[in-house]
Amino acid sequence: MGIVDEAHNVKIVGLEGFAHDLLAILNELQINSCIFVGHSVSAMIGVIASVYRPDVFSKIIMLSASPRYLNDADYYGGFEQENFDQLFDAMRSNYKAWGSGWAPLCVGGDMESVAVQEFSRTLFNMRPDIALSVLHTIFHCDMRQILRFVTVPCHIIQSMKDMAVPVVVSEYLHLHLGSQSIVEVMPSDGHLPQLSSPEIVIPVLLKHIRHDISMGL
């Protein structure tokens, strides 16, 4: 059994469809090779897609990525189930109030900042039931078992302080990815540093886009 066939036996409930959608888009655009830059769960979707079609990806740049958010016996993802239960209850009871509190926590800043207001706008533009369904899928995914099948080089970029993804998760990815990987922890706060600290993130992203791991980043 080949590595792709074996990887197909690892079920990532809820995310395989997104990975196939990504591959379909790349195929429609006739992109035969690309550098994929993904944030959060999008980075992990790129990882899954690269296992199915490694020939399409020259490297993956992962910003604020996590293979699992729930703590486990031998794994620290940053959350307990009761944290998610409280979050989902808050979303159901008063979505707008939840969004107003979640946005500054997630982005890193106060409600007056442009970055927090922009993220809040995207939250409030979503139907609450869809937002709840998406977050439920993301927070209950476990992508650890597919990491060993990855063959495409991965650049793992992480904020020093991220309420959704502890720094230790980036080291977990580095240790368990089957491909070459490198970690860079930036002096930024929040899960969306591209919004809150673009002056830090943009040069780091460009560096990792332009240079390969073998070049001694």
- Residues known to be catalytic: 40, 162, 191
Token pair for 179: 């491909």
β-bridge pairing 57-63 and 181-189 = unpaired
Please check whether residue 125 is in contact with residue 99, taking contact to mean a CB–CB distance below 8 angstroms. Answer: no
Beta bridge partners, 29, equal: none
| Nearest C-alpha neighbor of 143 from the set 215, 36, 51, 35 | 51
At residue 115, the 3 state secondary structure works out as helix
List of residues 6+ apart from 77 with CB closer than 8 A: 66, 68, 69, 70, 71, 166, 169
Q: Torsion angle, CA of 190/195/197/201, rounded to 10 degrees?
A: 100
Burial (Cβ within 10 Å: 0-12, 13-18, ≥19) of residue 14: middle
